Amino acid sequence: MPVEIRRSVLFTPGDQEKRMLKALTLPADMVCFDLEDAVAPEGKEAARQLVRQVLDANPPVPGGPDRCVRINALSSDEWRSDLAVVMDARPPALMIPKADDPVTLARLSQELAEEEARVGLHPGSTRLYLIVETALGVLRALDAGIAVGQRLAGLLFGAEDLAADAGLVRTPSSVEVLYARSHVALAAAALDVPCIDQVYANFQDPAGLEQEARQARTLGYTGKMAIHPDQIAPIHRAFTPTQAEVDHALRLLAAAQKETHGAFRFEGRMIDEPLLEQARRVVRVARRAGMAH
Ligand code: COA
Ligand code: MG
């Protein structure tokens, strides 16, 4: 079974047919049709119908992006209507914004099972991505992930909503969200799922985006949200190891095969098990990106 690769997750408003069709032709690893913040309240019903229709009329093609639908927050009245309409198109995954209450998430998982049965899907087969973007959500990220069990596909970190919720003042360095952003990455690692970094809103600044994405990678993130097609390439560059990193990791792992000691010397540095595991991780990501065999 191919391992999922989630470097870029491109958001496209669910009320814009032309853009959704375009998104499906782009090289993003996943596209997410949005029914939440990108759609005005009066446009929600039309957007649901449009998302269902676009998904139905455009079945997945090999090599194309995976698909996901962001429904409305579980604190709103909209999410049940979202499910009732979009589940007809059997999306492989849903994204849950402002995920912060394990009890409500467990209820969603149950109601989703009923929808799955209604549309002939195996109950439990729809994956869930949780966006952690409230103060409570950050503090409860691990429990939120556990609450949806095997459905969990990944965590995302939303800096702007968190700033609004917690009274943070956004700065270019993102230092004000560092604790929360790291916390979410650790929760995802503990849950053994991918972790997708915050949106970089200035879509005309590819260098700034790539720098922020590289910073996210150092924190443990495996991908980043995108809001514009031009953001896909810089994100992929940041989350794909360089050839030099891959070559170093392969040399190191080859050298380790010949070692009998747990700790040994390699190219002037001490190497032991955690460094080998880091090298294995680089090679795994490179293989998924087609860079190493
Ligand atoms: N998904 C798919 N296609 C997109 C896109 C997106 N998110 N954003 C832009 N495009 C397409 C446009 O349709 C256009 O295609 P064309 O050249 O074939 O006509 C091309 O990319 C260039 O678009 P551009 O003119 O540079 O963008 P814009 O100024 O019209 O729109 C935004 C800018 C930010 C409003 C738009 O990119 C957008 O809506 N992004 C998603 C916002 C969102 O979903 N937010 C919620 C989640 S955080
Ligand atoms: Mg939001």
Q: What is the pLDDT of residues 83-133, one digit of tens each?
A: 999 999 999 999 999 999 999 999 999 999 999 999 999 999 999 999 999
Q: Which ligand is nearest to the CA of 159?
A: 2
- 12: Cβ below 6 Å to ligand 1? yes
CA 33 from chain center: how many Å?
A: 13
Label residue 85 exposed, middle or buried (CB < 10 Å: 0-12, 13-18, 19+).
buried
At residue 1 the predicted structure's pLDDT band, cuts being 50, 70 and 90, is very low
Pick the atom of ligand 1 nearest to 203's CA. 34
For residue 2, is pLDDT > 70? no
Q: Look-up: residue for tokens 């009890």?
A: 103
Homologous superfamily of 8-239 = Phosphoenolpyruvate-binding domains (3.20.20.60)
Among the atoms of ligand 1, which is closest to the Cα of residue 37? 46
Contact 166, 179 (CB under 8 A): no
What confidence tens digit (pLDDT) does each residue in 225-258 have?
999 999 999 999 999 999 999 999 999 999 999 9
Q: If you average pLDDT over every residue of the chain, what do you get?
A: 95
Residue nearest to atom 40 of ligand 1 (CA): 227
Among 19, 68, 156, residue to substitute to test ligand 1 (most atoms within 8 Å of Cβ): 19
Is ligand 1 within 6 A of the CB of residue 160? no
Residue 198, classified by CB atoms within 10 Å of its CB into exposed (0-12), middle (13-18) or buried (19+), is: buried
pLDDT at 293: 64
- 78 C-alpha vs ligand 2 centroid, how far in Å? 15
Say yes or no: CB of residue 133 within 6 Å of ligand 1: no
Instruction: Name the residue type at position 248.
Output: H
147 lines ligand 1 (CB under 6 A): no
Q: Is the CB of 23 under 6 A from ligand 1?
A: yes
Element (H, E) at 11: strand 8-13
Q: How far is the CA of 164 from the centre of ligand 1 (A)?
A: 24
The pLDDT tens digits for 35-63 are 999 999 999 999 999 999 999 999 999 88
> pTM here?
0.94
Average pLDDT over residues 269-274: 94
Pocket residue to mutate for ligand 1, from 8, 21, 22, 95, most atoms within 8 A of Cβ = 22
The domain spans of the chain are 8-239, 243-288
